[in-house]
Amino acid sequence: MTTDDMNHPQKEKPIALELHQVGKVFRSDTGAKVKALEDVDLLVHQGEFVTLVGATGCGKTTLLNLIAGLDAIDEGTLRLGDGLRFGDNIAHVFQHYTLFPWRTAVSNVSFGLQMRGVPRAQRHLRAAALLEKVGLKGFESAYPHELSGGMRQRAAIAQALAIEPKLLLMDEPFGAVDDSTRTELQQMLTDLWQENQTTVIFVTHNIDEAIVLGSRVLVFSERPGSIACEFKIDLPRPRNRIAKEFTDLFIHIRKSLSGQLD
């Protein structure tokens, strides 16, 4: 087992993302204001793997959309690190509708390159290489509806990686696949992250998943959403789900999550 040396990036790594007192207000159909996020402070360094865990509807996705530039911030400030730009090197992987159904796998993966004007032959070559990397060799010309749920998420990750992102935002990407597929995908994602050193912000409601993947776990509170507490995960990778340190952490996070429910 290797020690997780990515766990101490704060000392030397530059900042990838900084949020200061960020708030977001939605207006409901009846006109009432609903605070989705309040006073969110977050500092993410380059190369970190941050997982956000919280109940469904607590504002995790809203926060991710703010970071992705898909929604406007109402309060506070958001600062992206040097060289990070929306629509350029920030990739987003969703839970559903992650691929364009009218494009084959290889053409989906090369979408970002096509938008950047990379010639067809070249982008297909790169897309095919990425598909091989995520374990989809031989499925280049398959349409999304011909792939299984797990395979679609693999292709979606390849699609995101194709634009060589410096920041990878993932919104419950493994939420709709079965447990064993989920474990495989988590392993693949960990391997890719260790290889590329991309900054990852990963949203999940699954505590186990948050601990397995993250170098830091942020626990989200509900209504209005804000970061309740945070845990640094120093466990070596690949992480052993039944090791005592792991289960202790799990119980700890579980308690801090259910504490909000009282």
Partner 1 sequence: MPKDAQENRPLRRLSQWLGYPRIGDSHRIGAARTGSPLGWMVVPVILLVIWQVAAQWLNQPWIFPPVTRVLDQLAHPLREHYASGSLLSNTFISLLRVLLGFLLAAGAGIALGIAMGSIRILRTGLEPIVEVLRPLCPIAWLPFAIAVFKRGTLPHLFGLGYTRTVFDQVQLGMVFVIFVGGFFPILTNTLDGVTGVRRNYLLLAHALGARRRQVFWHVYLPASMPMILTGLRQGLGLCWFVIIAAEMLPGAESGIGYLLIYASDNAAMDIVIAAMLIVGGIGALLSLLMRKVMSGLVRWHGKEI
Interface residues with partner 1 (CB under 8 A) are 68, 70, 87-88, 90-92, 94, 96-103, 111-112, 114-116, 143-145, 152, 159-160, 163
For partner 1, give the closer residue by CB, 199 or 226: 199
The pair of three-digit structure tokens given for residue 74, joined into one six-digit string:
């109402």
- Min dist. Cβ of residue 168 to partner 1 (A): 11
Q: Which residues does residue 44 pair with via DSSP β-bridges, in sequence order?
A: 17
- Min dist. Cβ of residue 100 to partner 1 (A): 6
- What single DSSP character describes residue 144? G
**DSSP-derived pairing of the beta strands 167-171 and 199-204:** parallel
- Min dist. Cβ of residue 1 to partner 1 (A): 35
The pair of three-digit structure tokens given for residue 190, joined into one six-digit string:
């960990």
Residue 252 CA to chain centroid, in angstroms? Answer: 22
For partner 1, give the closer residue by CB, 111 or 246: 111
For partner 1, give the closer residue by CB, 94 or 139: 94
Say which residue the tokens 């900042």 belong to: 15
d(CA 262, CA 255): 11
- Min dist. Cβ of residue 251 to partner 1 (A): 36
Q: How many CB atoms lie within 10 A of CB 229?
A: 14
Region at 92 (left for phi over 0; alpha for psi -120 to 50; beta for the rest): beta
Check whether the bond before 238 is cis (ω within 30° of 0). Answer: yes
For partner 1, give the closer residue by CB, 143 or 246: 143
- Min dist. Cβ of residue 202 to partner 1 (A): 15
For partner 1, give the closer residue by CB, 177 or 233: 177
Say which residue the tokens 């929306």 belong to: 86
For partner 1, give the closer residue by CB, 90 or 249: 90
- Min dist. Cβ of residue 159 to partner 1 (A): 7
For partner 1, give the closer residue by CB, 38 or 172: 172
- What single DSSP character describes residue 178? -
d(CA 217, CA 202): 9
- Min dist. Cβ of residue 86 to partner 1 (A): 8
Task: Please count the residues of the chain.
Answer: 262
